[in-house]
Amino acid sequence: MNTITAIGLGHLGGFGGGRISSIILHLAIWSLLRRLFIDYPEIAWPVVIALVAFLVIRDIRRRRNFR
């Protein structure tokens, strides 16, 4: 299964909140990042930093809304 197909399947099943589709989506993103590091390492670092920043900001917002 290629990365784009896995991301598509993860998104399709992700709307239902399924665990399997979430795993497929995470594996696809991991595969895409790994390939990015192998082929274009100068682009990969800013992408990883932006992804981590996005996840941290999302987590902070969720914790604020939870209270």
pLDDT score of 37: 85
Per-residue pLDDT of the chain (67 residues; tens, 9 = 90+): 555 555 555 555 445 556 666 677 778 788 888 888 888 888 888 888 888 898 888 888 888 877 6
pLDDT of residue 36: 84
Task: Locate 38 and state its tokens.
Answer: 């192998």
- 18 DSSP 8-state letter: -
Q: Where are the domains of the chain?
A: 3-66
User: Contact 7/29 with Cβ under 8 angstroms?
Assistant: yes
Please answer whether residues 9 and 21 qualify as being in contact, where contact means their C-beta atoms are separated by less than 8 angstroms.
Answer: yes
Q: Rounded to an integer, what distance in angstroms lies between the CA atom of residue 10 and that of residue 53?
A: 22
